Amino acid sequence: MNTLTLPDVALHGATSQQTLDWVGMQRIALPLRLAGQPLTGRASAAVSLDDPAARGIHMSRLYLALEQLEGCELDSAALRQVLKHFLASHLGLAQQAYLELAGELLLKRPALVSPLAGWKGYPFALCSRLDAQAGFHVELQLEIGYSSTCPCSAALARQLIQRQFSSDFAGKSLDHADIIEWLGSAQGILATPHSQRSSATLQVRLSPHAAELPLLALIEGAEQALGTALQTAVKRADEQAFALANGQNPMFCEDAARRLHAALRKQPGISAFQLQVVHAESLHAHDAVARSSWHW
- At 240, is the pLDDT very low, low, confident or very high (cuts 50, 70, 90)? very high
pLDDT, tens digit, for every residue of 56-83? 999 999 999 999 999 889 999 999 999 9
Q: How far is CA 264 from CA 36, 204, 236, 274, 295, in A?
A: 23, 9, 33, 9, 12
pLDDT on residue 281: 86
What three-state secondary structure class fits 276?
Answer: strand
pLDDT on residue 208: 85
Gap between the terminal Cα atoms of the chain: 54
pLDDT, tens digit, for every residue of 248-282? 999 999 999 999 999 999 999 999 999 999 999 88
Q: Where are the domains of the chain?
A: 20-150+193-294
CATH (one of 3.20.20.110, 3.30.565.10, 1.20.1370.20, 3.10.270.10) for 20-150+193-294? 3.10.270.10
pLDDT top residue among 12 and 215: 215
What three-state secondary structure class fits 115?
Answer: coil
Write the CB contacts of 201 (distance below 8 Å, at least 6 apart in sequence): 141, 142, 143, 275, 276, 277, 278
pLDDT of 1 higher than 60:
no
